[in-house]
Homo-oligomer: A and B are copies of this chain.
Amino acid sequence: MQTQSDIRLTPQRQVILEELAKVKTHPTANEVYDMVRKRLPRIGLGTVYRNLELMADNGMILKLEVGGSQKRFDATTDLHYHIRCTGCGRVDDIQFSAMPQLDQLAANSSDYQVLGHHIEFSGICESCDDPQEAKK
A→B interface (CB under 8 Å): 65-68, 81, 83, 85-86, 92, 94-96, 102-103, 105-126, 129
Contact = CB atoms under 8 A, between A and B. Distances in A.
User: Quick one: copies of this chain in the complex?
Assistant: 2
Most buried by B among A94, A112, A129: A112
22 contacts: A65-B67, A85-B112, A86-B115, A92-B112, A94-B109, A95-B110, A102-B119, A107-B123, A110-B123, A112-B126, A113-B124, A113-B129, A114-B121, A115-B122, A116-B121, A116-B122, A117-B119, A117-B120, A118-B119, A118-B122, A119-B119, A120-B120
Given A65-B67, A109-B95, A118 B120 contact: yes
